[in-house]
Each structure stands twice: as C-alpha cells, then as structure tokens.
Amino acid sequence: MANMPAQAPELWPVPVQLVAAIAQELKQHGITAQQLLAGANISEQELLSPEKLLPYRTTQKILTRACQLSPVPQLGLLVGARQSPSSMGILGYGINCCSTVEDAMNMAVKYHRVSSTLLLSEWRQEDDKLNWLVEAPVDLGAILPCLVEEEFSMLCRMTPDDYRNNRLL
C-alpha cells in the first residue's frame, strides 16, 4: 500500500489482548492456554494483564500455534465477532470518544500500534463504500487469513450499518 509507513525491522510490541481472546476461543474447543502458550515464554496469568506487551515475533509464534491447534478453520472470524471497543484497550476508549465514523477510522489507523494487531491498515471511502485495507509488514504465512478475518469480523461488528451519516451509534 503506497500510503503505508515504512516499518523498522524490530516491528512493534503487541498488547496481549488478541492472544487472550484467541486463548478464550480455543478454550471453548478444548484447547488449554498451556497448550497454546507452550514454548512461548509467557504464562497464562500474563494473558490477564492488559498492560502486558509481547514482542511482535512472539505474538506471531503464538498465533501460528493457535491456527495449528484450532479445530475450527474460522478462528479469526469467531474471535473478531466477540470483540468490542473495550477489547481494544486504550484505542477502543479513544474510538468510543469519537463522534463520527471518519474520526474513529482515522484514530484506528493512526494509533493501530496500541491495539493488538499484527497488520498495518488504512481506509478509503469511495462513493458509498468504505474500504479497509490491511497489509502485513512481514511474511505472516498461514496466520494471515486468520488475522484478516479477525479484523474484518471485528470491524463489521463495530461499524454502523449505515455509516454514510458519519455518526457512530
């Protein structure tokens, strides 16, 4: 994406919320947090700490394991459908304070690094269509579909059906 900022090789630290949400979803399918976190040097207790940041590559490793362990192919869709602005931490609070969809989308793009995403994003409006564009800053392999599905599902849940009035619900 032409408008995407260049990324430093070390990437960014990722808040633990997405890993915690995936652990919760996997638990519903009989997969324990211990199984998910095996070899990742993070404890189940740390998943409950909203201020916990994980190295980007550690998060990538855990999500790769989640996709391998998951008995359901639509893991990203399931996790995203359960997200709410409050599950986005401080970014969700900021988005809730926005009075228009445009302001909320701009905030989401500008401050994406404080959310638990591994993707870069931007948005464009063309006529009555809102296009949310994502890109991986590194090769994410098999977890890319899961991450795109999670983000898409979350956005569908949080965006008003009629955003053309540019007002949040």
Is 88 in contact with 159 (CB distance < 8 Å)? no
- Given a contact cutoff of 8 angstroms between Cβ atoms, the answer to whether 67 and 143 are in contact is yes
Indicate the pLDDT class of residue 108, thresholds 50, 70 and 90. confident
Task: Give percent of the chain with pLDDT exceeding 90.
Answer: 53
The alpha helices in 111-161, defined as continuous H runs, are 144-158
Burial of 68 by CB count in 10 Å (0-12 exposed, 13-18 middle, 19+ buried)?
exposed
Rounded to the nearest 5°, which phi and psi values hold at 129?
-110, 135
Of 11 and 27, the structure prediction assigns the larger pLDDT to 27
Q: Check residue 169 and give its pLDDT.
A: 42
pTM: 0.84
List of long-range contacts for 90-99, beta carbons under 8 Å, 24+ apart: 90/114, 91/115, 95/158, 98/168, 99/167, 99/168
CA distance 48 to 20: 7
Q: What is the mean pLDDT of the chain?
A: 86
Place of tokens 């999500």: 63
Quickly state the pLDDT bin for 39 (edges 50, 70, 90). very high
Region 71-97: mean pLDDT is: 87
Angle at 129 between CA 123 and CA 130, to 5 degrees: 20
Coil, helix or strand for 70?
A: coil
Q: Is the pLDDT of residue 168 over 90?
A: no
Q: How confident is the model at residue 101 (pLDDT cuts 50, 70, 90)?
A: confident
Average pLDDT over residues 61-72: 97
Q: Which domains are seen in the chain, by residue range?
A: 14-165 (3.90.1520.10)
As a whole number, mean pLDDT of residues 99-120 equals: 86
Cβ density class 126-160: b for 16+ within 10 Å, e for less: eeeebebebeebeebeebbbbbbbbbebbbeebbe
Distance, CA of 1 to chain centre: 19
Lowest mean pLDDT across 5-9, 28-32, 119-123, 147-151: 5-9
| The pLDDT of residue 42 | 95
Residue 3: per-residue pLDDT = 45
